[in-house]
Amino acid sequence: MKHRLGPDGLHFFDRRSGLNLLIENTGVPNERWDRAPRQVSIALTNACDLDCPYCYAPKAAAVLDVGRLFAWIEELDAAGCLGVGFGGGEPTLYRRLPELCCRVTARTGLAVTMTTHGHQWTPSLVDQLRGHVHFVRVSVDGVGSTYEKLRNRPFPELLNKLALISSLPFGLNCVVNRETFPDLRAVAELAAAVGAAELLLLPERPAQGRPGMDSTLRLRLHEWIGAYSGLVPLAIGEGDTGSLATAVPLPREIGLRAYAHVDASGMLKRTSYDQNGETIDERGVLAAVDRLERAA
Protein backbone atom coordinates (compact mmCIF):
# COMPACT_ATOMS: atom_id res chain seq x y z
CA MET A 1 0.00 0.00 0.00
CA LYS A 2 1.40 3.36 -1.02
CA HIS A 3 1.02 6.53 1.05
CA ARG A 4 0.88 10.22 0.20
CA LEU A 5 1.15 13.33 2.36
CA GLY A 6 -1.01 16.30 1.41
CA PRO A 7 -3.22 19.12 2.65
CA ASP A 8 -6.06 16.73 3.55
CA GLY A 9 -3.89 14.41 5.63
CA LEU A 10 -2.17 11.06 5.19
CA HIS A 11 -3.58 9.16 2.20
CA PHE A 12 -3.04 5.40 1.79
CA PHE A 13 -3.80 3.70 -1.54
CA ASP A 14 -3.78 0.03 -2.58
CA ARG A 15 -3.47 -0.21 -6.35
CA ARG A 16 -4.59 -3.86 -6.47
CA SER A 17 -7.95 -3.38 -4.75
CA GLY A 18 -8.45 0.35 -5.36
CA LEU A 19 -8.83 0.88 -1.61
CA ASN A 20 -8.27 4.45 -0.40
CA LEU A 21 -7.79 5.35 3.27
CA LEU A 22 -7.43 8.94 4.48
CA ILE A 23 -6.23 9.83 7.98
CA GLU A 24 -7.34 13.43 8.48
CA ASN A 25 -6.10 16.13 10.85
CA THR A 26 -2.57 14.74 10.91
CA GLY A 27 -1.05 18.22 10.98
CA VAL A 28 1.35 17.53 8.14
CA PRO A 29 3.36 20.74 7.52
CA ASN A 30 3.26 22.16 4.01
CA GLU A 31 6.94 21.49 3.38
CA ARG A 32 6.32 17.75 3.80
CA TRP A 33 3.49 17.52 1.28
CA ASP A 34 4.34 15.30 -1.68
CA ARG A 35 5.26 17.37 -4.74
CA ALA A 36 3.80 15.27 -7.56
CA PRO A 37 0.20 15.44 -8.74
CA ARG A 38 -1.88 12.62 -7.27
CA GLN A 39 -2.80 11.35 -10.75
CA VAL A 40 -1.14 11.97 -14.12
CA SER A 41 -2.65 11.09 -17.48
CA ILE A 42 -0.21 10.46 -20.31
CA ALA A 43 -0.94 10.47 -24.04
CA LEU A 44 1.51 7.86 -25.30
CA THR A 45 0.84 8.65 -28.96
CA ASN A 46 -1.45 10.82 -31.05
CA ALA A 47 -2.01 7.92 -33.46
CA CYS A 48 -5.55 6.55 -33.64
CA ASP A 49 -7.26 4.36 -36.20
CA LEU A 50 -10.65 6.02 -35.58
CA ASP A 51 -11.76 9.53 -36.56
CA CYS A 52 -14.52 10.45 -34.14
CA PRO A 53 -16.01 13.89 -34.91
CA TYR A 54 -15.96 15.03 -31.26
CA CYS A 55 -12.38 13.96 -30.47
CA TYR A 56 -10.26 16.75 -28.94
CA ALA A 57 -6.91 14.90 -29.07
CA PRO A 58 -4.18 16.61 -31.15
CA LYS A 59 -3.84 15.31 -34.72
CA ALA A 60 -0.15 16.13 -35.20
CA ALA A 61 2.04 13.02 -35.33
CA ALA A 62 3.76 12.48 -31.96
CA VAL A 63 4.87 9.57 -29.80
CA LEU A 64 6.73 9.46 -26.48
CA ASP A 65 10.12 7.80 -26.17
CA VAL A 66 9.75 4.92 -23.72
CA GLY A 67 13.06 5.60 -21.96
CA ARG A 68 12.32 9.27 -21.26
CA LEU A 69 8.76 8.39 -20.31
CA PHE A 70 9.79 5.78 -17.77
CA ALA A 71 12.26 8.21 -16.19
CA TRP A 72 9.41 10.69 -15.73
CA ILE A 73 7.22 7.98 -14.24
CA GLU A 74 9.92 6.96 -11.76
CA GLU A 75 10.30 10.61 -10.76
CA LEU A 76 6.55 10.93 -10.21
CA ASP A 77 6.46 7.72 -8.18
CA ALA A 78 9.23 8.91 -5.86
CA ALA A 79 7.45 12.26 -5.35
CA GLY A 80 4.14 10.79 -4.18
CA CYS A 81 2.07 10.28 -7.34
CA LEU A 82 -0.40 7.41 -6.91
CA GLY A 83 -1.27 6.51 -10.50
CA VAL A 84 -0.70 7.06 -14.20
CA GLY A 85 -3.40 6.77 -16.86
CA PHE A 86 -2.30 5.92 -20.39
CA GLY A 87 -4.26 7.24 -23.36
CA GLY A 88 -3.69 8.91 -26.69
CA GLY A 89 -4.70 8.79 -29.43
CA GLU A 90 -5.17 5.07 -28.92
CA PRO A 91 -2.70 3.61 -26.41
CA THR A 92 -2.79 0.10 -27.88
CA LEU A 93 -1.11 1.55 -30.99
CA TYR A 94 1.93 2.37 -28.82
CA ARG A 95 4.32 -0.38 -29.83
CA ARG A 96 5.94 -0.84 -26.40
CA LEU A 97 2.77 -0.66 -24.33
CA PRO A 98 3.06 -4.12 -22.67
CA GLU A 99 6.73 -3.52 -21.85
CA LEU A 100 5.93 -0.11 -20.36
CA CYS A 101 3.08 -1.39 -18.19
CA CYS A 102 5.18 -4.30 -16.92
CA ARG A 103 8.05 -1.97 -16.00
CA VAL A 104 5.77 0.43 -14.16
CA THR A 105 4.12 -2.26 -12.04
CA ALA A 106 7.40 -4.07 -11.35
CA ARG A 107 9.55 -1.05 -10.49
CA THR A 108 7.14 1.53 -9.01
CA GLY A 109 4.19 1.61 -6.64
CA LEU A 110 1.93 3.37 -9.16
CA ALA A 111 -1.46 2.17 -10.30
CA VAL A 112 -1.70 1.82 -14.09
CA THR A 113 -4.96 2.67 -15.85
CA MET A 114 -5.78 3.03 -19.50
CA THR A 115 -8.45 4.53 -21.78
CA THR A 116 -9.04 2.71 -25.08
CA HIS A 117 -11.59 2.32 -27.85
CA GLY A 118 -11.06 -1.43 -27.49
CA HIS A 119 -10.87 -2.49 -31.13
CA GLN A 120 -7.16 -3.36 -31.14
CA TRP A 121 -7.37 -5.76 -28.19
CA THR A 122 -6.46 -9.42 -28.71
CA PRO A 123 -6.24 -12.42 -26.34
CA SER A 124 -2.45 -12.03 -26.47
CA LEU A 125 -2.60 -8.37 -25.41
CA VAL A 126 -4.95 -9.20 -22.53
CA ASP A 127 -2.53 -11.89 -21.33
CA GLN A 128 0.45 -9.52 -21.57
CA LEU A 129 -1.33 -6.80 -19.58
CA ARG A 130 -2.94 -9.02 -16.95
CA GLY A 131 -1.61 -8.02 -13.55
CA HIS A 132 0.11 -4.97 -15.04
CA VAL A 133 -2.95 -2.79 -15.70
CA HIS A 134 -5.16 -2.09 -12.72
CA PHE A 135 -8.16 -0.58 -14.56
CA VAL A 136 -9.17 -0.26 -18.21
CA ARG A 137 -11.69 2.33 -19.42
CA VAL A 138 -13.40 1.44 -22.71
CA SER A 139 -15.03 4.24 -24.69
CA VAL A 140 -18.59 3.31 -25.67
CA ASP A 141 -20.42 6.29 -27.11
CA GLY A 142 -23.95 5.05 -27.68
CA VAL A 143 -25.07 1.60 -28.75
CA GLY A 144 -26.05 -0.08 -32.03
CA SER A 145 -26.42 2.29 -34.97
CA THR A 146 -25.51 5.35 -32.87
CA TYR A 147 -22.14 3.83 -32.00
CA GLU A 148 -21.55 2.68 -35.58
CA LYS A 149 -22.34 6.13 -37.00
CA LEU A 150 -20.00 7.95 -34.61
CA ARG A 151 -17.17 5.41 -34.43
CA ASN A 152 -17.46 3.84 -37.88
CA ARG A 153 -16.97 0.37 -36.40
CA PRO A 154 -19.45 -2.52 -36.13
CA PHE A 155 -21.14 -2.57 -32.72
CA PRO A 156 -21.02 -6.41 -32.53
CA GLU A 157 -17.24 -6.15 -32.93
CA LEU A 158 -17.13 -3.89 -29.87
CA LEU A 159 -19.17 -6.42 -27.89
CA ASN A 160 -16.66 -9.13 -28.78
CA LYS A 161 -13.80 -6.91 -27.59
CA LEU A 162 -15.62 -6.12 -24.34
CA ALA A 163 -15.88 -9.86 -23.70
CA LEU A 164 -12.08 -10.04 -23.98
CA ILE A 165 -11.36 -6.98 -21.84
CA SER A 166 -13.87 -7.98 -19.16
CA SER A 167 -11.38 -10.46 -17.73
CA LEU A 168 -9.50 -7.37 -16.44
CA PRO A 169 -10.88 -4.74 -14.04
CA PHE A 170 -12.69 -2.32 -16.33
CA GLY A 171 -15.36 0.34 -16.76
CA LEU A 172 -17.06 2.17 -19.62
CA ASN A 173 -16.75 5.80 -20.74
CA CYS A 174 -19.43 7.61 -22.72
CA VAL A 175 -19.04 10.99 -24.41
CA VAL A 176 -22.43 12.64 -23.95
CA ASN A 177 -23.76 14.81 -26.76
CA ARG A 178 -27.03 15.15 -28.67
CA GLU A 179 -26.37 11.94 -30.59
CA THR A 180 -25.53 9.79 -27.57
CA PHE A 181 -27.82 11.24 -24.89
CA PRO A 182 -30.88 9.21 -26.05
CA ASP A 183 -28.76 6.04 -25.65
CA LEU A 184 -27.64 6.63 -22.06
CA ARG A 185 -30.06 4.14 -20.55
CA ALA A 186 -28.95 1.49 -23.05
CA VAL A 187 -25.27 2.25 -22.35
CA ALA A 188 -25.91 1.87 -18.61
CA GLU A 189 -27.69 -1.44 -19.22
CA LEU A 190 -24.76 -2.59 -21.36
CA ALA A 191 -22.33 -1.62 -18.58
CA ALA A 192 -24.29 -3.79 -16.15
CA ALA A 193 -24.57 -6.68 -18.60
CA VAL A 194 -20.82 -6.87 -19.29
CA GLY A 195 -19.82 -6.46 -15.64
CA ALA A 196 -18.33 -2.95 -15.78
CA ALA A 197 -17.32 -1.50 -12.42
CA GLU A 198 -18.18 2.08 -13.39
CA LEU A 199 -19.80 4.21 -16.08
CA LEU A 200 -17.98 7.52 -16.61
CA LEU A 201 -20.03 10.23 -18.36
CA LEU A 202 -18.00 12.80 -20.31
CA PRO A 203 -19.96 15.81 -21.60
CA GLU A 204 -18.63 16.66 -25.05
CA ARG A 205 -15.96 19.37 -25.12
CA PRO A 206 -15.53 21.82 -28.02
CA ALA A 207 -13.31 20.30 -30.73
CA GLN A 208 -12.85 20.36 -34.50
CA GLY A 209 -15.38 23.14 -34.94
CA ARG A 210 -18.04 21.47 -32.79
CA PRO A 211 -19.32 23.65 -29.90
CA GLY A 212 -19.52 20.92 -27.30
CA MET A 213 -22.39 20.36 -24.89
CA ASP A 214 -24.75 23.34 -24.44
CA SER A 215 -26.41 24.37 -21.17
CA THR A 216 -29.77 22.83 -22.10
CA LEU A 217 -28.35 19.38 -22.72
CA ARG A 218 -26.16 19.66 -19.62
CA LEU A 219 -29.29 20.28 -17.53
CA ARG A 220 -30.99 17.26 -19.11
CA LEU A 221 -27.93 15.15 -18.33
CA HIS A 222 -27.95 16.24 -14.70
CA GLU A 223 -31.66 15.40 -14.50
CA TRP A 224 -30.97 11.97 -15.98
CA ILE A 225 -28.23 11.35 -13.43
CA GLY A 226 -30.55 12.45 -10.63
CA ALA A 227 -33.15 9.90 -11.71
CA TYR A 228 -30.66 7.09 -12.37
CA SER A 229 -31.34 3.84 -10.53
CA GLY A 230 -29.06 1.45 -12.42
CA LEU A 231 -26.69 -1.09 -10.92
CA VAL A 232 -23.40 0.38 -12.16
CA PRO A 233 -21.96 3.37 -10.23
CA LEU A 234 -21.81 6.62 -12.21
CA ALA A 235 -18.97 9.11 -12.42
CA ILE A 236 -18.81 12.39 -14.32
CA GLY A 237 -15.90 14.35 -15.70
CA GLU A 238 -14.39 16.90 -13.31
CA GLY A 239 -15.67 20.38 -14.04
CA ASP A 240 -18.96 19.04 -15.40
CA THR A 241 -20.72 18.39 -12.09
CA GLY A 242 -22.66 21.66 -11.85
CA SER A 243 -25.05 21.48 -8.90
CA LEU A 244 -24.89 17.68 -8.70
CA ALA A 245 -24.14 16.23 -5.29
CA THR A 246 -20.80 14.47 -5.79
CA ALA A 247 -18.23 12.98 -3.45
CA VAL A 248 -15.16 15.18 -2.92
CA PRO A 249 -12.91 13.08 -0.69
CA LEU A 250 -9.88 15.39 -0.93
CA PRO A 251 -11.34 18.91 -1.06
CA ARG A 252 -8.04 20.71 -0.41
CA GLU A 253 -5.98 18.75 -2.94
CA ILE A 254 -6.85 20.69 -6.07
CA GLY A 255 -5.24 21.92 -9.28
CA LEU A 256 -1.80 20.54 -10.07
CA ARG A 257 -1.64 18.92 -6.65
CA ALA A 258 -4.46 16.63 -7.80
CA TYR A 259 -3.92 16.12 -11.52
CA ALA A 260 -1.75 16.87 -14.54
CA HIS A 261 -1.59 15.71 -18.15
CA VAL A 262 1.41 14.92 -20.34
CA ASP A 263 0.73 15.05 -24.07
CA ALA A 264 2.42 12.94 -26.73
CA SER A 265 4.93 15.70 -27.52
CA GLY A 266 6.18 15.72 -23.92
CA MET A 267 4.37 18.86 -22.76
CA LEU A 268 2.90 18.97 -19.26
CA LYS A 269 -0.54 20.62 -19.00
CA ARG A 270 -3.17 21.24 -16.36
CA THR A 271 -5.72 19.19 -18.33
CA SER A 272 -5.81 17.22 -21.57
CA TYR A 273 -8.01 19.97 -23.06
CA ASP A 274 -5.50 22.78 -22.53
CA GLN A 275 -3.55 24.18 -25.46
CA ASN A 276 -0.63 25.54 -23.42
CA GLY A 277 1.75 23.97 -20.95
CA GLU A 278 5.40 23.45 -20.05
CA THR A 279 7.77 21.25 -22.04
CA ILE A 280 9.37 18.53 -19.91
CA ASP A 281 13.09 19.03 -20.50
CA GLU A 282 16.26 17.64 -18.94
CA ARG A 283 15.24 19.12 -15.57
CA GLY A 284 12.44 16.56 -15.32
CA VAL A 285 8.70 16.41 -14.85
CA LEU A 286 8.54 17.96 -11.37
CA ALA A 287 10.42 21.03 -12.58
CA ALA A 288 7.78 21.38 -15.32
CA VAL A 289 5.04 21.10 -12.68
CA ASP A 290 6.70 23.88 -10.67
CA ARG A 291 7.01 26.15 -13.74
CA LEU A 292 3.38 25.55 -14.69
CA GLU A 293 2.28 26.35 -11.14
CA ARG A 294 4.21 29.62 -11.14
CA ALA A 295 2.76 30.56 -14.54
CA ALA A 296 -0.80 30.54 -13.19
DSSP, collapsed to helix, strand or coil, labels residue 2 as: strand
- Give the pLDDT confidence score for residue 35 in this predicted structure: 95
pTM: predicted TM-score of the whole model, two decimal places: 0.95
Report pLDDT for 278.
98
pLDDT tens track for 234-250: 999 877 777 787 888 89
Q: What is the pLDDT of residue 58?
A: 86
Q: CA 180, 184, 187, 193: dihedral to nearest 10 degrees?
A: -170
Helices (H), 195-262: 215-227
144 contacts: CB under 8 Å, gap ≥ 6: 155, 183, 186
Residue 206 is predicted with a pLDDT of: 87
Question: Can you give the pLDDT at residue 28?
Answer: 80
The pLDDT of residue 25:
75
What are the structural domains, with CATH classification, of the chain? 36-294 (3.20.20.70)
Q: Please tell me the predicted confidence (pLDDT) of residue 209.
A: 82
pLDDT in tens, 104-144: 999 999 999 999 999 999 999 999 999 999 999 999 999 99
pLDDT beneath 50: ranges in the chain: none
State the Cα–Cα distance between residues 217 and 46, nearest whole angstrom. 29
89 prior amide bond cis, ω within 30: yes
- In 16-82 the beta strands, taken as DSSP E runs, fall at 20-23, 39-43
Handedness of CA 214, 52, 64, 71 (dihedral sign): positive
